[in-house]
Amino acid sequence: MRTGKHGWTTAAVTVVCAVTVLAAPGTAFADPGPSPSSGTPGVSSSAPAATPGKDLEAVRKKLDELYRAAASATDEYNAAEEKADKQSAEIVELAKKIVKGQEKLDGLKDRAGAAARSQYRTGGLPDEAKLMLSDDPEDFLDGTGRVVQGQRATKGLLGEMTRTQEDLKAYAADASAQFEKLEANRKAKATARKKVEKQIKAAEKLESELEQEEKERLARLEREAQEKAQTAWLGSGILKDLDSGATEQGRKAVEYATAQVGKPYQWGAEGPKAYDCSGLTSQAWIAAGTAIPRTSQQQWKQLTRVDIEDMRPGDLIIYFDDASHVGMYIGDGSVVHAPRPGRSITIAGAGSMPILGVVRPDTGASAQE
């Protein structure tokens, strides 16, 4: 490996170029379009019949299972992407340090070269020899001081050159390690992407096999299931204990999130045209002035947990046992969230899905009535 000036500079440029290639996002997976509005010739004979309600209920549960699996894979994708972005930034900073370190080393070498040339011009005698040949005691004493200073300067210069070379080696080693991590996360992203696409395609296929009447009945079943869950949640008396006041930041986060109602869900998206569930909540809190983790699972792990009874607008409700979905509580028993592919950001009952728990981004801030 070349360690000269051009070698280090080339290495740094290569680092930045490689980061650009590795960190570049893959082609976004398009949101599924609307399902066909009516039956088409050649529909699979295994399509659920329109008559028995239990069959459509099984379809509803299967679709829920597929989209939940897609949501979990989306969280994996988002986490890998977040790590890759961080590692890319770290590699770029290391590249900058390598360039600056090489410039410093070149400067030190120039200083050492200048000292050598100066010695050559004065006859090549070391300062100690010239000191011993001096006849003037005063010059002798002055010369002694200069020799000591020169020796210290030379020793300091050599020491600084050694430290700078060691720093360059450390930066290069760090960059190599970060490259390996970046490549691993690039592969993790690709794997998670395939999982998401597989689950969504399976759900699309299942829905495409339904007749229009069945799709309408299926939509009613979905609404009924959500309403039943919300009614049971409210029936527990939870709402009367909730704190209706939001903090200033919480109010801003709610305003941002609710302003996105009607925009499409798109996995891996963080706005402004589309969002996934955690993309919506993380961007809402960034707009409010607080950066929070990107994924619902990390939001659950890293943010402060609060009791449901203490929930206030702006808090995040984490859903399902695997923390694969998140919404933002907006008050009055409601949540704003990005549901799943094929759906738009909407306001729903906070208890319409199984609640894992509640987390608060702005712990310590006082609520305003």
Task: Please identify which of the residues 196, 277, 335, 358 carries the catalytic annotation.
Answer: 277
CB 291 within 8 A of CB 343: no
Residues written for the chain: 369
CA distance 301 to 314: 17
Instruction: Say whether 325 is catalytic.
Output: yes
Task: Please identify which of the residues 193, 337, 340, 360 carries the catalytic annotation.
Answer: 337
What torsion do the CA atoms of 328, 337, 278, 315 make, to the nearest 10 degrees?
Answer: 0
* Bond before 272 cis per omega within 30 degrees: yes
CB 350 within 8 A of CB 233: yes
304-306, strands of its sheet edge to edge: 304-306, 355-360, 316-319, 325-331, 334-337, 346-349
Q: Which residue has the tokens 């996934």?
A: 276
Of the candidates 362, 278, 350, the one whose C-alpha atom is nearest the C-alpha of residue 315 is: 362
Region at 342 (left for phi over 0; alpha for psi -120 to 50; beta for the rest): left
CA distance 228 to 352: 8
Instruction: Find all residues with CB under 8 Å of 76, minimum gap 6, and list them.
Output: 188, 191, 192, 195
Instruction: Say whether 277 is catalytic.
Output: yes
Amino acid, res. 14 = T
Task: Please identify which of the residues 186, 217, 325, 360 carries the catalytic annotation.
Answer: 325
Greatest CA separation found in the chain?
A: 120
CB 247 within 8 A of CB 366: yes
CB 79 within 8 A of CB 298: yes
CA distance 15 to 101: 15
Instruction: Say whether 6 is catalytic.
Output: no
Contacts 24+ apart (CB under 8 A), 165-168: 165/105, 167/97, 167/101, 168/3, 168/8, 168/98, 168/101, 168/102, 168/105
Residues designated as active site: 277, 325, 337
